[in-house]
Amino acid sequence: MERMFESKTRDCLCSLDKSGTFCITPVDKPVDMLSTTLKPGIEYRVFAPTSHPLPVITSKGSTRLQISELSTGVEQLGVPGFSAIWPRTSFEGVPGVALISDESDSPVYPYIEPESWRDALDTLNDTPVVMIRGPKRCGKSTFARAALNKLLEDHERVVWLECDLGQSEFSCGGVVGLWTVTEPVLGPAFTHPAIPTRAYHLGEYTPLSCPEAYISAIRQLIDYYRYEMEGPLVINTQGWIKGLGEDLLKAIESAAEPTHVFTFEAEGGSPPTYTVPLGGIHRILQPAPTSPLQARYTPSDFRILGMMSYLKAMLGEGRWGASQSWEVNIPGTIQNVYLVGQGSDGVINEDLELALNGALVGLLQSEPEETIYEPGRRPDGVFLGYGIIRWIQPSSLGFKVALSSPLPSSALASVNAIVKNGAMELPLCALLEAGEDVPFVDYSAIEGPGLERRRIRRNIMRKGM
């Protein structure tokens, strides 16, 4: 279903504020959306859930836009708290799209671009290495997507280096990696999971417990980019900017040698203390405007949404559905098993079945080792994707498992090892069917003394120390 929409204003089409999933094609002249210029005659996929600031389509003068249906299945993820983020109406006969007006029933918030962002994006030229840094929830990922899209205007492909373990752009966290991007990204992170070009699994949402492995993996990725890949590089960093976090950011900057560094102002209006790259471009950016959505959803909520989106995606196809399952043998298709993270050293061979049953595991391609599993052994392989062990049973030679994964069969053919880190577990909604009524299980929030999320402070020292 397609509809041609024409709007005439003297300055810009600020009234075009849409939610839903749709394809948009500018007809007459370029339009701006999400800090990205959309060129005439090119169709763009847009994902605009109400859980995030909605894109505002703007242009100078009168223009025509072609809006068409985009049916991907992302609306059927079944994540508690996110069931109403997609419209169930139609706009001009196009299903799954809603025009937001001042009279809208549910509160929604528009995407607002700070003035300093456009000036910073205009500095991107040639084949830059771009590094974005700043505190948590300041708009780093949003600006990094805008930089990615800006570079795609002049390059066929752009390389994305993900250094944020907790809020990954193209995966569900726990990995650092390189992704090759060839199309503009117009939507939040959970709407575009993808297969990495090269990645390493850490299985943690923070580098606090594995700083050496974290930096080592990033340095290997930077070397791989320099010698094996072409195109501009966008580096998305973590929001941990103090203490050890600042040291890690400096180590990334030293290894990457960026040509452009964009630093977000920290709380209080002052930027973090970093060295300006010699001979490079450095800009201080205003943080994204604070939105009530930040109080409605926590980073943990978005991690669950991202994980469910990844596990139900059909990677490489741009749509979502039921993941396929395969029965594989250990040893056989899977030759080695690794358990890492806190407490993993105490898991003996006899308990391996219990540790893996129902687990989220990383799928690796590595050099085979003689024994299937040894307590305390660490993996040394390339991360290909995530999978779920749906069931496991002993066999005459080892184990037989049912493995489901969003990876296509061509990528799964390279998997010969799995790794599990207890820091990353499946959310409850991944263990149950969407809408399934289970006794004694309640998704809703419970209020009361002592029931709030426990906060741990690790930066408080004893008096006199």
CATH 2.60.120 assigned to domain 2-99? The reply is yes
Q: Quote the strand ranges of 315-462, DSSP E.
A: 319-320, 324-330, 336-340, 360-366, 381-394, 399-405, 417-421
SS3 content of the chain, % helix, strand, coil (to 5): 20, 30, 50
* Count of CB atoms situated within 10 Å of the CB of 76: 12
Q: Is the omega angle on the peptide bond into residue 232 within 30 degrees of 0, that is, cis?
A: no
Q: Where in the chain is the domain with CATH 2.40.30.330?
A: 323-431
Residue 143 carries which DSSP code?
H
Tally of CA atoms within 13 A in the half-sphere of 399 that contains its CB: 24
Contacts of 10 (CB under 8 A, 6+ apart): 61
422's torsion region: left (phi>0), alpha (psi -120 to 50) or beta? Answer: alpha
* Count of CB atoms situated within 10 Å of the CB of 336: 23
Chunked mean pLDDT (size 10), the chain, 465 residues: 47 53 88 89 91 85 83 87 80 65 62 89 90 89 93 94 94 94 93 95 90 94 95 93 90 93 75 60 87 81 92 90 84 88 80 87 90 84 93 83 90 91 84 64 61 56 56
Query: What kind of architecture, by CATH, is found in domain 323-431?
Result: Beta Barrel (2.40)
Question: Which pairs count as long-range contacts for 122-125, CB under 8 Å and 24+ apart, including other chains?
Answer: 123/260, 123/281, 123/283, 124/150, 124/151, 124/232, 124/260
Residue 359 carries which DSSP code?
-
User: For the structural domain made of 115-288, what CATH number should be given?
Assistant: 3.40.50.300
- Asked if 404 and 282 count as a contact pair (C-beta separation under 8 A), the reply is no
Q: Where in the chain is the domain with CATH 3.40.50.300?
A: 115-288
Give the 3-state DSSP-derived string for 243-289, with helices as H, strands as E and coil as C.
CHHHHHHHHHHHHHCCCEEEEECCCCCCCCCCCCCCCCEEEEECCCC
Three-state DSSP state, 90: strand
Q: Where in the chain is the domain with CATH 2.60.120?
A: 2-99
Three-state DSSP state, 368: coil
The amino acid sitting at 68 is: S
Distance of CA 355 to the CA centre of its chain: 27
Whole-angstrom distance, CA of residue 262 vs CA of residue 119: 11
- Asked if 315 and 386 count as a contact pair (C-beta separation under 8 A), the reply is no
Buried b (16+ CB within 10 A) or exposed e, 165-191: bbbbbbbbbbbbbbbbbeebbbbbbbb
- Asked if 266 and 137 count as a contact pair (C-beta separation under 8 A), the reply is no
For 147, list phi and psi in degrees, rounded to 5: -65, -40
Contacts of 323 (CB under 8 A, 6+ apart): 311, 312, 388, 404, 405, 406
For 265, list phi and psi in degrees, rounded to 5: -60, 140
pTM of the predicted model as reported, rounded to 2 decimal places: 0.88
Residue 174 carries which DSSP code?
S
